[in-house]
């Protein structure tokens, strides 16, 4: 049972993107169908009922534009999520601005789709009172915005739990022992020889990974390559992926520069894990790693790579 749970993410990852796309398509389609049926029943009670195709166009255009806006909302949620812990007011303010932009794009988009469908049907779509209608639509859109963003956030946390999130182990506490005295008057020692050497940067040797209620350690030297993923760094270790909350630039300062080299704006590699370097047109290259994966190397970072592997 434990092994099955452990490999759940590995089985899900290859089909993750199609599942996500299919989920939103099915969800919006079902909501559009349900809203259309409700609106058609309600329209029959009106003094001047409208044809079913018009009602279907109204509801379908709204949900179509909402579907197209989902990727943008996923990006907004990912960008603003770190602010929730440190700058709550900025977090809420940016979401308020984003909800207004979302509603404007939604209304303009669905009006455009409706106008197109009406034109095909030989009719003319009336945009009268669009300003007042936008105010009404925004009151609905802000609820839709909040529900979609919350759903994306909850799903992302679920995937992180499956994938496994890593963190740097806390540095050991310094002992309370006093430092050894410096013999300033010792014979043969010059004052310059007694200067304290600059402290070396602390580089973690292991990382703690939490995955499906399990915790285990991975060694820094076991990392094959790294990839920037928004506000996280993806650690690729022996065919497994783990996310660590940091930027690639900051995280590389904690790794041994003799072992890890940046080879792309969003990628870095463990030099000892490179199996083959495949030159490409324009000065770029493709790095074939020992784990079977490939990592892009841009022309800008070729010199750093050559220096790292000791090639003049």
Read off the pLDDT of residues 251-284 as tens digits, 9 standing for 90 and up.
898 888 889 999 998 899 999 999 999 998 888 8
| Secondary structure element (H or E) that encloses residue 54, with its range | helix 52-80
CB 275 within 8 A of CB 291: no
Question: What does the pLDDT read at residue 250?
Answer: 87
Cα 260-222-213 angle, rounded to 5 deg: 125
Sheet strands side by side (includes 285-289): 274-279, 285-289, 294-297
Q: Is 52 left (phi over 0), alpha (psi -120 to 50) or beta?
A: alpha
Overall average pLDDT of the 117-146 stretch: 83
| 218 has a pLDDT exceeding 70 | yes
- Position 175 scores a pLDDT of 41
Picking from 83, 86, 109, 107, the residue whose alpha carbon sits closest to that of residue 95 is 83
Count the helices and strands in the chain (H runs, E runs): 9, 11
In this predicted model, which residue has the larger pLDDT, 23 or 9? Answer: 23
From residue 275, alpha-carbon distances to 224, 272, 282 in Å are 11, 8, 22
pLDDT-derived band at 129, boundaries 50, 70, 90: low
pLDDT for residue 289:
93
Mapping DSSP to helix (H, G, I), strand (E, B) and coil, where does residue 61 land?
helix
User: Which residue has 């020992």 as its token pair?
Assistant: 290
Taking residues 16-45, report their average pLDDT.
93
- Which residue would you say has higher pLDDT here, 47 or 304? 304
The pLDDT of residue 302: 86
Domains of the chain: 2-163 (no CATH), 201-308 (2.40.50.1020)
Q: Residue 222: which of 263, 171, 166, 157 has the closest Cα?
A: 166
Report the distance separating Cα 106 and Cα 66, nearest Å. 7
Is the Cβ–Cβ distance between 304 and 261 less than 8 Å? yes
Least confident of 8-17, 63-72, 251-260: 8-17
- What distance in Å separates the CA atoms of residue 228 and residue 267, rounded to the nearest whole number? 6
**For residue 107, what are the β-bridge partners?**
none
- Give 222's DSSP letter: G
Q: Is the pLDDT of residue 47 over 80?
A: no
* 95 or 220, greater pLDDT: 95
Q: What is the pTM of this model?
A: 0.63
The winner for highest mean pLDDT among 10-19, 53-62, 151-160 is 53-62
What element of type H or E holds 20? Answer: helix 16-43
Helices 52-80 + 16-43 axis angle, to 10: 140
Provide the pLDDT for residue 275. 92
Compute the mean pLDDT over every residue in the chain, rounded to the nearest whole number.
Answer: 82
């Amino acid at each position: 049972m434990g092994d099955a749970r452990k490999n759940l993410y590995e089985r899900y990852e290859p089909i993750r993107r199609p599942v996500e796309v299919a989920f939103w398509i099915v969800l919006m389609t079902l909501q559009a169908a349900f809203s259309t049926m409700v609106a058609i029943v309600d329209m029959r009670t009106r003094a001047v009922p409208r044809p079913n195709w018009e009602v279907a166009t109204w509801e379908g255009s709204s949900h179509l534009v909402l579907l197209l806006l989902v990727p943008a909302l996923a990006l907004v949620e990912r960008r603003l999520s770190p602010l929730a812990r440190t700058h709550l007011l900025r977090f809420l303010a940016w979401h308020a601005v984003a909800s207004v932009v979302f509603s404007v794009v939604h209304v303009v988009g669905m009006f455009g789709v409706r106008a197109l469908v009406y034109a095909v049907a030989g009719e003319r779509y009336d945009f009268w009172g669009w300003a007042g209608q936008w105010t009404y639509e925004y009151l609905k859109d802000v609820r839709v915005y909040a529900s979609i963003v919350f759903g994306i956030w909850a799903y992302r946390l679920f995937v992180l739990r499956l994938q496994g999130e890593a963190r740097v182990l806390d540095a050991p506490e310094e002992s309370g022992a006093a430092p050894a005295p410096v013999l300033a008057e010792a014979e043969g020692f010059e004052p310059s020889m007694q200067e304290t050497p600059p402290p070396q940067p602390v580089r973690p040797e292991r990382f703690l990974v939490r995955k499906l209620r399990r915790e285990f350690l991975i060694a820094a030297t076991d990392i094959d390559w790294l990839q920037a993923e928004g506000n996280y760094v993806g650690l690729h270790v022996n065919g497994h992926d783990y996310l660590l909350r940091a930027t690639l630039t900051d995280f590389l300062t904690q790794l041994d520069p003799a072992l890890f080299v940046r080879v792309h704006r969003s990628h870095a590699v463990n030099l000892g894990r490179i199996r083959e370097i495949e030159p490409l047109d324009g000065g770029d290259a493709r790095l074939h790693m020992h784990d079977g994966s490939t990592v892009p190397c841009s022309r800008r970072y070729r010199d750093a790579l050559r220096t790292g592997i000791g090639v003049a």
